[in-house]
Amino acid sequence: MLAIFKKELSSYFNSTLGYIILALYLLFSGFFFWMICFNGGTNAVVNVINYMLYVVFFLVPLITMKSFAEEKRQHTDQALFTAPVGLWEIVLGKYLSALTLYVMCNMVFIFYALVLMAVTGASVAWGQLLGALFGIILLGAALLSMNLLFSSLTEHQIIAAVVGIAAGLVIMLYDSIVAAVENFINTLFGGQYEAVVIDKLSVTAHYENFISGVLSPVDFVFFLSFIAFFLFLTNRVLDRKRWA
Amino acid sequence: MVEVKNLVKSYGNIDAVKNISFTANVGEVLGFLGPNGAGKSTTMNIIAGYLSATSGTVTIDGYDIVDDAIEAKKRIGYLPELPPVYQDMTVKKYLNFMYELKKVTLPREEHLAEIMKLCGIDAIADRVIRNLSKGYRQRVGVAQALVGNPPVIILDEPTVGLDPKQIIEMRALIKNLGKKHAVIFSSHVLSEVSAVCDRIVVISQGQIAADEATDKIAYMKSNEMRLLLTVEGNSASVISAISAVDGVTKVRRGDRQSDEICDYSVEYKKDTDIRRGVFRALAKAGCPILQMRDAGMSLEEMFLTLTTPTYQDKGGKN
C-alpha cells in the first residue's frame, strides 16, 4: 500500500495536476479570505471555509479523476493487479494519497488565520476554526471516496470528473431537491407528507454541524460510513472487471 | 511450476478460451503460438491473475491464482501486450516503484542494476519513459517483469515493435531466462518461436491445437510423405528409375526447368526413408540429382493447417 501511496502522491507533483489543484484552491480561498477578512473587515476565517465548501464540490473530482481511469487507459493497471498486493491496498493507497493532497490544500486556512492575527492583531476563534476545518476535510474525504468510484468506472478522466461534479451538485442541492419533491407530492395528493429517512442522508446537513462547531458522533459515523461505502463499491467495481 | 487446467473464459455467448490445459516447468521456454484473436492474451491475463477464468484453474507452484492470489502472484513476472509503464517516471524510478509494489526483499541497488544491465537499459536509467522509443519501453516492460526474480515469467509478444537487432537480443535474453525460470512467451512470429522455445503450444480459436516439442511439431500433422527432386535426364527413365525404389508409391513430374532438367514429386509410404534408394537408382540410371528435399511441412504450413478452420467447422458455426 505504501508503494502505491508514495507513487500516487509523487505523481500529483510530477505532473501539473497537483499544482493546478493547489493553485485553484489557493486562488478561491485567497479571494474569499480577502473579501471577508480584509474587505469585509471581520476576523471570521470560518466564513472563508463556509464559502469554500461550495468550491470543494467542483475541485475534489479533479483530484481523483485520474486515479483509476488513467491507469486503465495506459494499461498500467495490469502491473498493479498482477502484483502481489491485495485490491484493498491499491484502493486505500490511491484514496489516502488523494486525501493527503486535499488535506494539504486545507492547511491554508490555518495560514490565513495566522496571517490575520499577524497583520490585524485580531484574535481568531481557534475552536470554531478547527471544527470547521475538520468539517470541510470530512466533506472532502467523503466526496473523494465517491469520485474514486467514478474514476474506477471509466477510462476517461474527463468523464470521471464531469460525473463527479454532477453528483456533487446533487449532493449540494440535496435538501432543496428533497423539499421540492415533498412539495410536489403534497400539492399532487393534497396531503401533509414529510420525508423520512431520505432527508437524513443529506451530506450538507451533516457537515453544517461541524461548521457550527458541534462535533457529534452521529455526523462522524455518517461520514465514515459514506467513505467506507464508496471505497467498498470501488473495490467491488475493480474486482468485477476481472470476472466480467 | 505453472499448471493450467481446463481453462474456460466466456464473454456472454462468446468463448474466448475453450478448455485449455497445459503445464510449464522451470528450465523451459514455452512458446504460445496462435493467430491474432486466438485467445493468447486472454489466457496469459488469466494465468497472471489479471482476469479470472469462467471455469478451470491455474496454479503456480501449488498456489491457486484466485484462492492464494498473493502467494501465486509473488511467483510471477508478467509483461502484458502493452508494457505497463508510467509515462511520467524515469526508468529507474519506475523499477524502484515496481520493486516496492512487489515487496521484493532482494538487495535493491544490486538487484535493479543487474536487471537493467540484463535488459540493456542501464544507459537510459535516468530518462523519462515518455521519451523512450517503443523498443526501449518494451525492454523496460521486460525489466519490470524480472523485478523480484520470480520463477515464472510470462511475456506477451515481447518482440513486437523491436528492430531486428533488438529482436535478436530479446530472443537471447528469453532463451537465457529459460535456463532458470519457467518462461511462457507468446508470439505470432513462427521463426521466433521455433528459434527460442523448447516446447510450442499452438492455440487456435481458444483451443489447443498442438502441444509438442519444437522439433517434433512440424512433422506431427503431416500425413503426406513427399520428397521433392530436381533431376537432370530423360523424364521417362527418371520416373521409371524412381518408381522401382522400395517404398515409393507415386511419382509425378513437376515443372520443366529446361529440356533436360525437371522437378519431380515422389510420394512414399509412412515410416520409410527412400532418399538413399532414390540416390542409388538415379545414379545407376545416369541421372544426376541436382536437388533433393523433404516436403515435410514447414512450420508455416503446420501453423496454417492447425489454425485454419476447415469448411466443416465454418458450416457448423454459422
- Whether residue B313 is predicted with pLDDT greater than 60 in this model: the reply is no
Across the interface, which of B11, B74, B97 has its CB nearest the CB of A3? B97
- Encode pLDDT of B151-170 as tens digits: 999 999 888 878 888 888 88
Least confident of B38-52, B239-253, B269-283, B295-309: B295-309
- Among candidate residues A174, A205, A206, the one with its CA nearest the CA of residue A182: A174
Count how many pairs of residues, chain A against chain B, have C-beta atoms within 8 Å: 73
For residue B54, what are the CA distances in angstroms to A175, B5, B19, B24, B282? 45, 12, 10, 21, 61
Residue A4 touches partner B, C-beta closer than 8 Å: yes
Distance from CA of B10 to the nearest CA of A (A): 9
pLDDT band at B301 (very low <50, low <70, confident <90, very high): low
Q: CA Rg, chain A, in Å?
A: 20
* Chain A residues inside the 8 Å CB shell of B42: none
CA distance B141 to A79: 10
CA distance B185 to B197: 8
Cβ-contact B220, B210 below 8 angstroms:
yes
For residue A15, what are the CA distances in angstroms to A11, A95, A171, A213, B155? 6, 18, 30, 37, 30
Residue B76 touches partner A, C-beta closer than 8 Å: yes
- Whether residue B246 is predicted with pLDDT greater than 60 in this model: the reply is yes
- Residue with grid cell 474456460, as numbered in its chain: B8
pLDDT band at B112 (very low <50, low <70, confident <90, very high): very high
Helices A17-33 and A45-64 cross at an angle (nearest 10°) of 160
Distance from CA of A243 to the nearest CA of B (A): 5
Going by DSSP bridges, is the β-strand pair B199-204/B207-213 parallel, antiparallel, or unpaired?
Answer: antiparallel
Going residue by residue through chain A (244 aa), what tens digit of pLDDT does each one get? 889 999 999 999 988 999 999 999 999 999 999 998 888 888 888 889 989 989 999 999 999 999 999 999 999 999 999 999 999 999 999 999 999 999 999 999 999 999 888 888 878 888 888 888 988 999 999 999 999 999 999 999 999 999 999 999 999 998 888 888 888 888 888 877 777 777 778 888 888 877 777 778 888 899 999 999 999 999 999 988 777 6
- Residue with grid cell 435538501, as numbered in its chain: A175
Closest-CA residue of chain B to A13: B88
Mean pLDDT of B29-34: 88
Cβ-contact B290, B231 below 8 angstroms:
yes
- Whether residue B221 is predicted with pLDDT greater than 60 in this model: the reply is no
- Whether residue B316 is predicted with pLDDT greater than 50 in this model: the reply is no
Residue A175: predicted pLDDT: 86
Q: A123 — phi, psi (to 5°)?
A: -90, 150
b (16+ CB within 10 A) / e for B27-56: ebbbbbbbbeebbbbbbbbbbbbbbbbbeb
Across the interface, which of B48, B69, B80 has its CB nearest the CB of A75? B80
* B 39-58: CB under 8 A from A: 45, 48-52
Closest-CA residue of chain A to B90: A14
Cβ-contact B185, B155 below 8 angstroms:
yes
Contacts of A135 (CB under 8 A, 6+ apart): A49, A207, A208, A209, A210, A211
Count of domains forming chain A: 1
ipTM of predicted assembly, 2 dp? 0.87
pLDDT band at B218 (very low <50, low <70, confident <90, very high): low
Mutate to test the interface with A, among B101, B129, B140, B152 (most CBs of A within 10 A): B101
Cα–chain-centroid distance for residue B223?
22
* Chain A residues inside the 8 Å CB shell of B84: 74-80
CA distance B217 to A43: 84
Distance from CA of B52 to the nearest CA of A (A): 5
Report the C-alpha dihedral over residues B96, B102, B108, B110, rounded to 10 degrees: -100
HEC secondary structure over chain B: CEEEEEEEEEECCEEEEEEEEEEECCCEEEEEECCCCCCHHHHHHHHHCCCCCCEEEEEECCEECCCCHHHHHHCEEEECCCCCCCCCCEHHHHHHHHHHHCCCCCCHHHHHHHHHHHCCCHHHCCCEHHHCCHHHHHHHHHHHHHCCCCCEEEEECCCCCCCHHHHHHHHHHHHHHCCCCEEEEEECCHHHHHHHCCEEEEEECCEEEEEEEHHHHHHHCCCCCEEEEEEECCHHHHHHHHHCCCCEEEEEEEEECCCCEEEEEEEECCCCCCHHHHHHHHHHHCCCEEEEEECCCCHHHHHHHHHCCCHHHHHHHC
- Among candidate residues A168, A171, A4, A166, the one with its CA nearest the CA of residue A98: A4
Question: What residue numbers bound the domain in which A37 lies?
Answer: 2-242
User: Is the CB of B101 less than 8 angstroms away from the CB of A243?
Assistant: no
Closest-CA residue of chain A to B48: A82
Residue A7 touches partner B, C-beta closer than 8 Å: yes
Going by DSSP bridges, is the β-strand pair B14-24/B2-11 parallel, antiparallel, or unpaired?
Answer: antiparallel
Return the SS3 of A204.
helix
* Chain A residues inside the 8 Å CB shell of B76: 82
Residue A9 touches partner B, C-beta closer than 8 Å: no
CA distance A77 to A152: 11
User: Is the CB of A84 less than 8 angstroms away from the CB of B100?
Assistant: no
pLDDT band at B299 (very low <50, low <70, confident <90, very high): low
Provide the CB-side half-sphere exposure for B122 (13 A, CA). Answer: 11
Q: Which residue has the higher pLDDT, B272 or B301?
A: B272
pLDDT band at B220 (very low <50, low <70, confident <90, very high): low
Residue A140: predicted pLDDT: 94
Mean pLDDT of B105-131: 92
**Helices within chain A (DSSP H only):** 2-14, 17-33, 45-64, 69-74, 77-81, 87-106, 108-120, 126-153, 157-172, 174-189, 203-211, 217-243
Residue A85 touches partner B, C-beta closer than 8 Å: yes
* A 15-34: CB under 8 A from B: 15
Least confident of A37-41, B76-80, B109-113, B269-273: B269-273
Mutate to test the interface with B, among A67, A78, A97 (most CBs of B within 10 A): A78
Residue A179: predicted pLDDT: 87
Contacts of B160 (CB under 8 A, 6+ apart): B81, B138
Distance from CA of B127 to the nearest CA of A (A): 14
Residue A18: predicted pLDDT: 93
The CA-CA-CA angle for residues B53, B56, B58, to 5°, reads: 80
pLDDT band at B315 (very low <50, low <70, confident <90, very high): very low
Dihedral sign computed on CA atoms, order A51, A54, A57, A58: negative
**DSSP string covering A107-167:** THHHHHHHHHHHHH-----HHHHHHHHHHHHHHHHHHHHHHHHHHHH-S-HHHHHHHHHHH
